[in-house]
Amino acid sequence: MSADFRQFAPCASVDPEAMFPNPKNQAGVVLAKRICDPCEFRSQCLDLALAPDTRSEFGVFGGLSEHERRALARRRGRRTRHSMAA
Ligand code: SF4
């Protein structure tokens, strides 16, 4: 999976630092998420940020903060384990 789409995304026209706010800076996180709001690539971006080989540990990607992505990955992992056990 390639991240080429990001060059056409809203985040490409802002200071890259804006997408990597300190997670304790809620205003910065909200601002970064607002940049993602109108992005047509959110779903692709989130998948890429969660995939094991392209995982993005830090920053806002796909409209989710790093904490939100970790929580989502944990939920998805639990769901996968449950479905494999069924
Ligand atoms: S979802 Fe956000 S981080 Fe991902 S490509 Fe779009 S604007 Fe950039």
Total domains in the chain come to: 1
| Domain with 72 in it | 4-85
**Ligand 1 neighbourhood includes 61 CB (under 6 angstroms):** yes
User: How remote is the CA of residue 80 from the centroid of ligand 1, in Å?
Assistant: 26
Residue 3, phi then psi, degrees to nearest 5:
-100, 20
Residue nearest to atom 3 of ligand 1 (CA): 61
What pLDDT digit, counting tens, does each position of 32-83 carry?
999 999 999 999 999 999 999 999 999 999 999 999 999 999 998 888 777 7
Does residue 17 have a pLDDT over 90?
A: yes
**Residue to mutate (ligand 1; options 1, 4, 6, 14; most atoms within 8 A of CB):** 6
Concatenated DSSP letters of 41-62: THHHHHHHHHSTTT---SS-BT
